[in-house]
Amino acid sequence: MVNTVSELVPGKQTQVHRDEQALAKISNSRIKYLLGLYLLLSLIYNVVNPILEAPDAVWHFQYILYLARGNGLPHYVDKPLPMQQEASQPPLYYALGAPFVLLANTHDVTQTLVVNPHAALGNAAGYDNKNYVVHPPFERFPYHGTTLVVHLLRLLSTLLGVIAVLFTYKTARILLGETLGLLTAALVAFNPQFIFLNASVNNDSLIGMLGIIALYLIVVSWERPTLGKIVALGVVMGMAAIAKLSGLALIPLVSLALPFIAWRHQVKGKLIVWYAVIGTAIITIAGWWYLRNWMLYSDPTGLKVMFAIYPQRTQAPSFAKLIALFDGVRKSLWAVFGWFNVIVPSWIYTILSLWMLLGSVGFLHYLVKTVQRRDWEQLILWSIIAFWALTYVAALMKWALISSPQGRMLFPALSAMTLLWLKGWIDWLPAQVGKKFATASVVSLVLLAVVVPFAYIRPAYAAPKFVQASQLPAGLQRLDRTYADSVKLLGIKIQPATVKPGQELHVHSCWQMIKATTKNYSIFVHIWGRGGPNAHSKIPVQIGTYPGKGTLPTSAIPAGAIWCETYTLRIPPDLAAPTRLTVEMGMYDFWQHLSLPVTDSRGRPVTTGIVGYAALEPKSWPALPKQATHLHYQFADGIQLAGYTLENKQLTLYWKAYRQPQHDYTVFIHILDQRGNMVCGSDSMPVNSNFPTSMWPRGAVVEDVRMLNLSSLLPGTYSLQTGIYWLETMERLPVTGPAGPIPDRSVPLCALLVP
């Protein structure tokens, strides 16, 4: 039987064969270019991102080092091992990485793996300390020792990523054709999170690749099942089971898919053989690991080891907490870097979420149409792919109930999810619009992937540059305080001079290394308002950091070097205002829990860490209450007494500033007897000395509460008066009332009856 024109016409057959060869060459060149660009971007991420600045990378590396040094598999007893909770992980990725340790001398591992005690892990909103480890100068290119090994291990992860992209392409080409297959592979390859993860030391790169290969084997088996493909599927599943615990999710996925494959090809009798082959492969490759865990920990999964070091949740998170957790998953599926603490602008996540939403809705639309057409084979095939993605989503939801979910945990299903989104775009959007939309999405992802390492990752770990003494910023308030005879705080500048609750205060500082030290000292900045540093047994605003916002350990700073940096602190929105904010700053030894001795420019001990002040204004100035007695007394230097209230023994004065006063004045409260003699009183700066008058801006309305102590007074009628004076001269400020200037500069408020 003649099936094609090429079989009917021999010359035509040759031409078709040539066309197919030409098409294959074009296809191969396109995927090679795509893989080449992915490889280039991965190398950029490898170089730009400091070593071990990726989720759990330090402990993954410690696991590899542990194996390479001949210690065997980790056996947790009581004390944590170097790889911490990763001791529970199956060993395949670490076994693959162990030979790389032999390519360089890792004698410097102790100096390389120096932990930053101030690291802001998981805190994307923080301004500093993105680095989990400190990064001394010897980490720079050309690489050697431990640094070289880490970069080589990153190349191993990148190779796994290349394979994952290649098999994504192979899978998508079968399902969607050549062009859409390339677009699908590109959407995976240029996902910045995928590039970042596969340019780090992390076993998710291996399990992600194996999950993608397993889906490919299911799809090719759907086309034509063979025993070789089933064996390969069993091997991949066995490797996945010994790569990471989430690899076990492939078992129900494949178990569900195989009966449909057997049904399609009418080989149901082979189903039991397929199950036997796959089961044998899994048990042979990975069974020993789970048996070992059972024998050691009475737990085949090994999760007891993980949770002994990294405790699980004691109670299930609330619905609101789950929403917040999966917001993190949504973002970290695409672009959350470092130790879950380096992010991109929120509008980028919004666009990426809209992509996913459009693709998901479009795919549901496709399934409905497929049911309407009664195209059962396509419905089953795409349902298997959807189930592949949903299974990992469900597993992540279950994990969220006991621990912390992240987008990278979905990477074994990344090709499946991307296929669903692209299928949805193509099916739902009109004509060629879907393909153009997919192409534009790929171009956008490439641009984002190129920008991320330079605009977001590198700045997060950039140390301040050393400057000359002549380059110190203008307006610097000189302090010249020396800590432990090693580090000098040259000066500071606090900006802005006035803030409101919820706003940021910037403390600019310049330092100089007087002499080199092997110790790593920390800088502290404390800010407090009313009540002092121990109000409510805590300092309202504080940071602790190594110099350079965590990037410049003092042990790596040469003698004589000068650097400047800015500490940004957000004032709590509920901090009482108005008040004077006191800024305290200094250095201490974090590991010894000791403050460093401080001397001034003359070598004298400094007993205070206070370096300056700022004003905290309320979000809006209060209005005089209706029950207040309204007054109009104008004091010199821009101060007005606008009114007062007196309830029981609480006197509240309402001051207004019609311009900013020049000095810090003291308010006096005098109680006079009927002969005009002062019998008691009190003096203090306004707001219990918490808001000096020199900080009052024009238009301020200051509520000044004072408690009257009448316990020493005999029964009778007294006169309550107030005024203002400058403590340096003890001179009262001139004051003018409705009837003109007041000679004694004391404002009469009211008669006071003491029963």
Taking the domains of the chain in order of start, what are their residue ranges?
Answer: 5-458, 466-616, 629-754
* Its pTM surpasses 0.85: yes
| Distances 372 to 368, 376, 386, 570 between C-alpha atoms, Å | 6, 10, 18, 57
Which of 76, 60, 360 is closest to 197 using CA atoms? 60
pLDDT score recorded for residue 604: 95
| Distances 503 to 124, 127, 612 between C-alpha atoms, Å | 18, 14, 18
Give the Cβ contact number of residue 531 at 10 Å: 13
Structure tokens at 517: 């030290």
Strand (E) or helix (H) holding 393: helix 376-400
pLDDT score recorded for residue 518: 92
- Beta-bridge partner residues of 670: 681, 721
427 close to 173: Cβ distance less than 8 angstroms: no
Give the Cβ contact number of residue 656 at 10 Å: 20
Burial class (CB in 10 A: 0-12, 13-18, 19+), 121: middle
pLDDT over threshold 90, residue 117: yes
pLDDT over threshold 70, residue 173: yes
pLDDT score recorded for residue 403: 86
Cα 86 to Cα 137: distance, rounded to the nearest angstrom: 29
| Distances 632 to 342, 466, 644, 663, 699 between C-alpha atoms, Å | 55, 56, 11, 21, 15
Which amino acid would we find at residue 81?
A: L
Least confident of 111-115, 306-310, 377-381, 633-637: 306-310
Across the range 692-716, mean pLDDT stands at 94
Domains 466-616 and 629-754 share a fold: yes
pLDDT score recorded for residue 520: 95
Cα 367 to Cα 428: distance, rounded to the nearest angstrom: 11
pLDDT score recorded for residue 25: 58
Cα 427 to Cα 413: distance, rounded to the nearest angstrom: 21
Cα 563 to Cα 513: distance, rounded to the nearest angstrom: 9
Which amino acid would we find at residue 579?
A: T
Which of 443, 558, 567 is closest to 494 using CA atoms? 567
pLDDT score recorded for residue 307: 85
pLDDT score recorded for residue 11: 52
Which amino acid would we find at residue 466?
A: F
677 close to 669: Cβ distance less than 8 angstroms: no
pLDDT score recorded for residue 9: 45
Structure tokens at 593: 């829990």
Block residue for tokens 């392409």 = 169
pLDDT score recorded for residue 127: 82
691 close to 661: Cβ distance less than 8 angstroms: no
pLDDT over threshold 50, residue 682: yes
pLDDT over threshold 60, residue 597: yes
**DSSP SS3 for 460:** helix
φ, ψ of residue 656 in degrees (nearest 5): -125, 145
Cα 154 to Cα 697: distance, rounded to the nearest angstrom: 56
Burial class (CB in 10 A: 0-12, 13-18, 19+), 431: exposed
pLDDT over threshold 90, residue 539: no
Give the Cβ contact number of residue 624 at 10 Å: 18
Across the range 112-122, mean pLDDT stands at 93
pLDDT band at 2 (very low <50, low <70, confident <90, very high): very low
pLDDT score recorded for residue 126: 82
pLDDT score recorded for residue 77: 85
pLDDT score recorded for residue 537: 47
**Fold entry, domain 466-616:** Immunoglobulin-like (2.60.40)
pLDDT over threshold 70, residue 3: no
pLDDT score recorded for residue 24: 56
pLDDT score recorded for residue 18: 52
pLDDT over threshold 90, residue 579: yes
**Omega into 136 within 30° of 0, i.e. cis?**
no
**In the chain, what percentage of residues exceed pLDDT 90?**
84
Strand 666-672 to strand 678-684: parallel, antiparallel, or no bridges (unpaired)?
A: antiparallel
Block residue for tokens 């057959």 = 13
pLDDT score recorded for residue 4: 38
Question: What rounded mean pLDDT belongs to the chain?
Answer: 92
pLDDT band at 19 (very low <50, low <70, confident <90, very high): very low
Q: Does domain 629-754 have CATH number 3.40.50.150?
A: no
Which of 240, 74, 40, 47 is closest to 152 using CA atoms? 47
Which of 149, 161, 157, 156 is closest to 62 using CA atoms? 149
Cα 211 to Cα 240: distance, rounded to the nearest angstrom: 7
| Distances 355 to 182, 326, 427 between C-alpha atoms, Å | 18, 17, 14
pLDDT band at 124 (very low <50, low <70, confident <90, very high): confident
Structure tokens at 660: 């900013």
Q: Count CA atoms within 13 Å of residue 336 on its CB side.
A: 22
- Beta-bridge partner residues of 312: none
Query: In this predicted model, what pLDDT tens digit does every residue of 262-321 receive, in sequence order?
Result: 999 999 899 999 999 999 999 999 999 999 999 999 999 988 888 888 788 888 888 888
Cα 426 to Cα 176: distance, rounded to the nearest angstrom: 10
Least confident of 296-310, 611-625, 702-716: 296-310
